Amino acid sequence: MESKNERINLKNILLIIFVFSTVLLLLDKFGIFTSFFILSSNDIGKKVIDFINNNLVEPGTYAKLISVRDMGSYYEILTEYQGNKIPVYVSKDGKVLFLQAIEITETKKIQKTQNVQEVPKRERPEVELYIFSYCPYGVTTLHSFAIVGKLLGNKAEMKVKFFSDMHGEHELQQNMIQACIQEVESSKYWDYAIKFQESVYSKCARSRDVNCDKNESIALMKEIGIDIDKVMKCVEKKGKELYNRDVNDANRYGLTGSPSLVINGVKVIRFDRSPEGIKRLICSSFVNPPDECSQTLPSSSSEATGGC
């Protein structure tokens, strides 16, 4: 459990970061950094630590200079404040102070790195994706999940559940429509889910119009060959019951954000939202992975990585 001192130190660190970000424009405006380019790396380090101690830290406390490293195109200045080591960076021309340095050539590797979480294995895994139907992060994850559903839907129990209507009445309606398609036309649901983003969400998300959502959903169901009458009768008679069931299931797992993923009764903390990433995760939950797991799916997608 986090101690009180740790919380205080974290608060101080965040305060420093906030103040650093706030004063950057002022520093450049008044030319404070313009003289750095004529100084050595040691002089730059001293200048930065003096500035921190004179302007940023709490009265009676001091930051300490640990080291200055020439990183090629910038300097890394390692400071210590209240027991925490905090690196800051200064460009070679001395005009920009920043708090993180990432090589562009390394970003692809960073994006593909994810923590491996153990999930229980079953002969036939149960996989549940929980989203809000008009959450942009949920919608893009749904697209990836549906691609995997087309591949593994006959090998695992894969389900999409909807547990919020925070975006409006149109979202509640869409929640019920998708729940009912899975209820009465489950074999065609993945085709609907794959095309939902382009055919319905892209046209109705901005307007939040209930009629837009209904009309575009019906048009998509017609295109796929889904029995529209069966689905809409289900929405009318059973839609809220199915929606409330999903909400209760989400509450049981303590889920609060879209998208959330539950595999074999365990909430997945972090996961790669690409089709290939989701496929690998699900395949790892089989006692004996099926042959379909050897197929390669797209490993990148355009989804945002946040949540609602």
Q: How far apart are CA 161 and CA 139, in angstroms?
A: 12
User: Beta-carbon neighbour count of residue 203 at 10 Å?
Assistant: 15
CB contact set of 264 (below 8 Å; sequence gap of 6+): 119, 120, 121, 122, 125, 126, 127, 285
pLDDT at site 50: 80
Q: Please name the amino acid found at residue 224.
A: I
Q: Please name the amino acid found at residue 284.
A: S
pLDDT at site 216: 97
Length of the chain: 308
Banded pLDDT at 28 (limits 50, 70, 90):
very low
pLDDT at site 235: 96
Edge-to-edge order in the sheet of strand 260-263? 157-162, 126-131, 260-263, 266-268
Q: Is 67 helix (H, G, I), strand (E, B) or coil?
A: strand
- The whole-number average pLDDT for the span 100-119 is 46
Backbone angles phi, psi at 210, to 5 degrees: -65, -40
CB 156 within 8 A of CB 291: no
Give CA torsion, residues 133, 134, 137, 140, to 10 deg.
70
CB contact set of 160 (below 8 Å; sequence gap of 6+): 128, 129, 130, 131, 142, 145, 146, 178, 182, 189, 193
Instruction: Give all domains of the chain, ordered by start, each with its CATH number.
Output: 4-101 (3.10.450.520), 122-294 (3.40.30.10)
Q: How far apart are CA 117 and CA 70, in angstroms?
A: 37
* Reduced 3-state DSSP string for 261-273: EEECCEEECCCCC
User: Beta-carbon neighbour count of residue 298 at 10 Å?
Assistant: 12
Report percent pLDDT > 70 for the chain.
71
pLDDT at site 64: 84
pLDDT at site 95: 58
- The whole-number average pLDDT for the span 115-136 is 86
The label of the residue with tokens 């209760």 reads 248
* pTM (two decimals): 0.62
Q: How far apart are CA 261 and CA 107, in angstroms?
A: 25
- The whole-number average pLDDT for the span 62-83 is 76
Q: How far apart are CA 93 and CA 295, in angstroms?
A: 50
Q: How far apart are CA 202 and CA 134, in angstroms?
A: 10
Residue 78 DSSP code: E
- The whole-number average pLDDT for the span 229-233 is 97
**Is the per-residue pLDDT at 55 higher than 80?**
no
CB 143 within 8 A of CB 112: no
Backbone angles phi, psi at 131, to 5 degrees: -145, 170
